[in-house]
A and B are shown apart, each in its own frame.
Chain A
Amino acid sequence: MNSQIRLPSPRGTFRVWQRNMTIFRKYWKTIMFPNFVEPLLYLAALGLGLGAFIQEGGIQGGTYVQYIAPGLLASNAMFAASFESTFNTFVKLKIDRIYDAIVTTPVNAEDVVAGEYLWAGTRAALYGTGFLTVLAILGFTLSPEAPLISSFWALLIPPMLLLIGVMFSVMGTLFTSLIQRIDLYAYYFTLVVTPLFLFSGIFFPVENFPAPVPQIAWFTPLYHAVNVCRELATGPSVAVLADIAWILVFTSLLALLPIRFMRRRLIS
């Protein structure tokens, strides 16, 4: 009898999102700060530090720092949504028992999960917008002839980061819905998040590798997220539509699975 597919209600989804927003508004300054600093550290160490050793001409006609900056926007969204859907969701599920309280109201378990997807996406977009602003200003101030963000299409990056955030939230929530112990996240971050971060074309183009590396990359989510951000930062080609379609299909195919598993954990 529990086997039917339960779709979340928009109203319940919004209520869960709203609960998270209420708390975020109280603490946003302290919560956001580390997320700004981290990508700047990567830019400084890898973009400027390592970039100095990379031959003139850089990658794909730009400097190294120009190459990696948009990719870091995508990975930043991945990290924001992943932390939200793993550690934060686990605490709400098993330690603070927030969801147990919510599901005794007209908000159902499926609304809780959908609300958390949307919230993780929102958080990814908020962080990303801040980071994007820093990149744009920094780029124009330091080297106006080679800015880090060079296209007005970049205005579409925040909504794309929302979508990317939802995608990684679905993945993180799937893992959360299957584990009983918080230390198991070491597996998720070491075996899923970190390899994606390193091999999705943020730091070097994967297309230049021999088969099957580019083919494998095509099947991974961050690769497409990086493509989308890079294209929008520099002026997109039509190919970006394929990447967006990939993200949409992957996310919607996977989204119902954590809803089902989480419902089973909340409603016996």
Chain B
Amino acid sequence: MSTEQERGARARESTLIARDLRKSYGEFQAVRGVDFEVYRGECFGFLGPNGAGKTSTMRMIYGAAVPTGGELMVAGLDVTRHERDVKRRIGVVPQENNLDDDLEVKENLLVYGRYFDLPKKVILQRAEELLDFVQLTDKADAQVEQLSGGMKRRLLIARALINDPEIVVLDEPTTGLDPQARHLVWERLRELAREGKTLILTTHYMEEAAQLCDRLVIMESGRIITQGSPTQLIEEHVSPQVLEFRSRDGSLEKLIEIAEAEADAVERSGESLLAYTSDADALMEKVRGSGIEVENTVYRQAGLEDVFLRLTGRSLTN
């Protein structure tokens, strides 16, 4: 076997396998039988509107929820039978901040490291390195309360890495952060991916998924409705170009007819009309020729957001 093939085989090695995974809370079915595989060293994303079942799936991975049915193997171990061993191999960045406010920044890492029974020397050394990694070295002795939202999130990421986990699970890692803080988090996560860590994350932000994820699934109402790489999904589900017409008077109504005849798909969203097409110029010509007045027309490339909205429905997010 050539080295290239070997590398290919290793890249395809699954580190997390879900088969018909289910989770119910009483009558409510949060996750209704999902199948997915995460390969070692990739960044895998879960997209979906609120209530789609992303967080429930995450919680089952890190042991905060027990599957109601199906199978879930994490790092080669069944989560229901090897609870502690699974938790020993993963790092968790939760959606809500749950840092220990009674402890200082560095102490948070030291105390957390003890939960993994790591030797004191190892914990101290890793804490130093991780504070450096998330750029919080000068805040080592600060109270957690004094940190900004972005700093708290970075400390949560450092904490999740104290046990040098194989898999890092991140539930909405940048929700609520300002753009600078978000970019800093993305940069750190890319660095982790470069180091070969497997990243599993949920997000609402299409840009985040497009930036970070090698592959992703889109969930809705407890089911996976599609999966693939960001480019695959765009190719599969939407035409490459989008024309967005905006108008406040009734002219959009008249436009729909032309758009529907020419474009591959048309969507109406409030005061704008989106036409998906592989030939934007031709469509534009038709619209101009029709003499219908449009206040504002925007041309752009189709993105993950279009896939997301197409599949999960525009009305939900409006």
Contacts and interface: CB of A to CB of B under 8 A. Distances in A.
Contacts, number: 70
Interface residues on B, range: 20 to 34
Contacts of A12: 115
Contacts of B59: 268
Interface in A244-268: 266-268
User: Which label, helix, strand, loop or mixed, suits the secondary structure of the B interface?
Assistant: loop
Top 7 closest pairs, chain A to chain B, by CB: A105-B115, A97-B98, A101-B98, A104-B92, A106-B84, A268-B65, A23-B102
A102 B113 CA distance: 11
A201 B84 CA distance: 46
Interface stretch (A14-22, A60-68, A149-157): A14-22
27 contacts: A1-B66, A2-B66, A15-B114, A15-B115, A18-B111, A19-B100, A19-B114, A22-B103, A22-B107, A22-B111, A23-B102, A23-B103, A98-B100, A100-B94, A101-B112, A101-B159, A102-B115, A103-B63, A104-B92, A105-B88, A105-B112, A106-B84, A106-B115, A267-B63, A267-B64, A268-B59, A268-B65
Interface of B: 25, 59, 62-66, 80, 83-85, 87-88, 92, 94, 96, 98-103, 107, 111-112, 114-117, 159, 163
Given A96-B101, A101-B99, A104-B87, A19 B64 contact: no
Nearest to B163: A105
B293 to A, nearest CB: 55
Interface residues of A, number: 24
Given A96-B98, A266-B64, A267-B63, A106 B103 contact: no
Contacts of A106: 84-85, 87-88, 115-117
Contact of B63 (A1, A15, A104): A104
A103 B90 CA distance: 12
A108 interface: yes
